[in-house]
Amino acid sequence: MKETVLITGGTGLVGQALTSLLLERGYQVTIFTRGKKRSDQRGLTYAQWDPARKTLDITALQAADYIIHLAGANVADSRWTAKRKQEIVDSRVESANLLFDQLRQHPNKVKKVISASATGWYGEYTGKIFTENDPAADDFLGITCKAWENSVRQMESLGKTVIILRTGIVLSLNGGAIREFRKPARFGFATVMGNGEQFVSWIHLQDLVRLYHNALLNDQLHGVYNAVAPRPVTNLQLVQSLARAMKGNSFITVHVPAFALKLALGEMSTEVLKSVKVSSEKIQQTGFVFSYPDVDSAVEQLVTHP
């Protein structure tokens, strides 16, 4: 009998890629959504939930063997006004609280809860590569990630295995940073943020969805893992790698000054300019092998197989 994976945030960039992989691997997938969508013939179904109203489809929850919690408002969609910051927090924390409350109140067979988090947990890189044992930063994203992870960890008290993947910048042409950097690169410009010396901890989308699948399969995994490739790069190296893959050596490197980013993005500019260098050693020690450990191979794959 097929095992069922219930995904929150399943219509986003990671959720769509993960759903495709899980269907290929023979799982039944249910996606919680606030809108009405039709199920298809591949083993994909949709169920209703509304974290703001604290409601969800109990039958769908009780049918699940695993939960993958990806729900959360996009951090980079708009300026961080006080209202937007509250939406970013609530979309993560209140949705996890809803899952916890319903799992506690209703009989279910959920074995594992696998949740996204972010490398925004960590502070500014000052020469020490961050590991999973480092404390949360005291900035907005650090505080958000801590509340997010704590809301998911509640489910350990229900006897569920909880696995949290602190995810770096996801490389994909369908969304995220690479899609934005690709626009000027088409015209021969490698657009660097600030001085470009800030480190970026990144992961190819294919490796990220493989990590989630691995978390379903590997019963030795529990707790927090950094979902980042083994070789962080600077912002300069990232955008030049993309430009090189697209244009060979026919590109010009252009810097967007830090003050311009601050004017355009407000408080969010601190994350664009922040240097975050994160270790992937813990997940590698479990036996996971990255398909794209270095940025050049990752970008080359994206450009040649869009």
CATH number of the domain residue 16 falls in? 3.40.50.720
130 or 248, which is more confident?
Answer: 130
Task: Tell me if 15 is assigned to some domain.
Answer: yes
Residues 6+ apart with CB under 8 A from 286: 218, 220, 221, 225
Task: Tell me if 244 is assigned to some domain.
Answer: no
Residues 6+ apart with CB under 8 A from 90: 51, 52
Amino acid 9: pLDDT = 94
**What average pLDDT does the segment 24-49 reach?**
86
Other Cβ atoms less than 10 A from the Cβ of 115: the count is 27
Task: Tell me if 194 is assigned to some domain.
Answer: no
Task: Tell me if 233 is assigned to some domain.
Answer: no
Task: Tell me if 186 is assigned to some domain.
Answer: no
Whether the per-residue pLDDT at 258 is higher than 80: the answer is: yes
Band of pLDDT at residue 203, cut at 50, 70 and 90: very high
Task: Tell me if 208 is assigned to some domain.
Answer: yes
The percentage of residues in the chain with a pLDDT greater than 70, rounded to a whole number, is: 98
Whether the per-residue pLDDT at 306 is higher than 70: the answer is: no
Q: Write the pLDDT tens digit of every residue in 292-301.
A: 999 999 999 9
**What average pLDDT does the segment 249-261 reach?**
87
Whether the per-residue pLDDT at 302 is higher than 90: the answer is: yes
Whether the per-residue pLDDT at 39 is higher than 80: the answer is: no
Task: Tell me if 18 is assigned to some domain.
Answer: yes
Task: Tell me if 29 is assigned to some domain.
Answer: yes
Q: Tally the domains of the chain.
A: 1
**What average pLDDT does the segment 116-137 reach?**
95
**What average pLDDT does the segment 40-64 reach?**
91
Amino acid 88: pLDDT = 95
Q: Write the pLDDT tens digit of every residue in 182-200.
A: 888 888 989 999 999 999 9
Q: What mean pLDDT value characterizes the chain?
A: 93
Quote the domain boundaries for residue 41: 4-168+204-228+277-291
Q: Which of 257, 114, 275, 281 is nearest to 197 (CA)?
A: 275
